Amino acid sequence: MNGGSLNILARGSKPDMLALERSLHESLPIGPEEGQLFYIQRQISNGLRPPPVPLVGVMKNVLVLQWPAASESDYLALISMEEALEDRLDGTQSYVDGHDFGSDEMNLFVHTDQPLDAFVEAQSALGSDPRWAGVRAAYRPTDGEEYTIVWPATLEVFSVS
């Protein structure tokens, strides 16, 4: 939190709190220091005007790594995988832009100009995790909505809820 403070706004079950966090990120202003370009783009698509975000470091594509999710242990695993992937990527070719958890899925967002290379890096970083076997992956242009499926080869439809 970079020396900030935390005010408790609500209390509830883990799923309720994660849903609240997601809702707040989709509707309240987020600055670039949050590192959550996914939510800034979602705000724009919902007709909101988030604060200006510098375009330095913005890449052409967003690779989404997605798993089924339903529990607190899934959320903790997501955070662990996010940290492992951040450690693996150098930030010049690809960088992790955050995560999303809810609607029975969890996602990691990777900004990159080379989505297939970024997927290979993700596989190297996360392939030993038993959850990797259930990964679905696709990418889209940063300013687009249509996904190109990367994995598995049998997957026909990909979306982020």
Same domain, 32 and 70: no
On whether both 92 and 121 belong to a single domain, the answer is: yes
Q: What domain range includes position 29? A: 14-45
Q: What's the pLDDT tens digit per position in 19-53?
A: 777 777 666 666 555 556 666 667 767 776 665 54
Residue 18 lies in a domain: yes
Give 103's DSSP letter: T
Same domain? For 82 and 34 the reply is no
Q: Tell me the per-residue pLDDT of 49-83, one tens digit each, with 9 for 90 and over.
A: 665 544 445 678 999 999 999 888 899 999 999 99
Q: What pTM value is reported for the model?
A: 0.66
Task: Give the CATH number, domain containing residue 114.
Answer: 3.30.70.1710
Cβ–Cβ under 8 Å, residues 159 and 140: no
Domain count, the chain: 2
Cα 58 from Cα 75, distance rounded (Å)? 27
User: Are residues 36 and 67 both part of a single domain?
Assistant: no
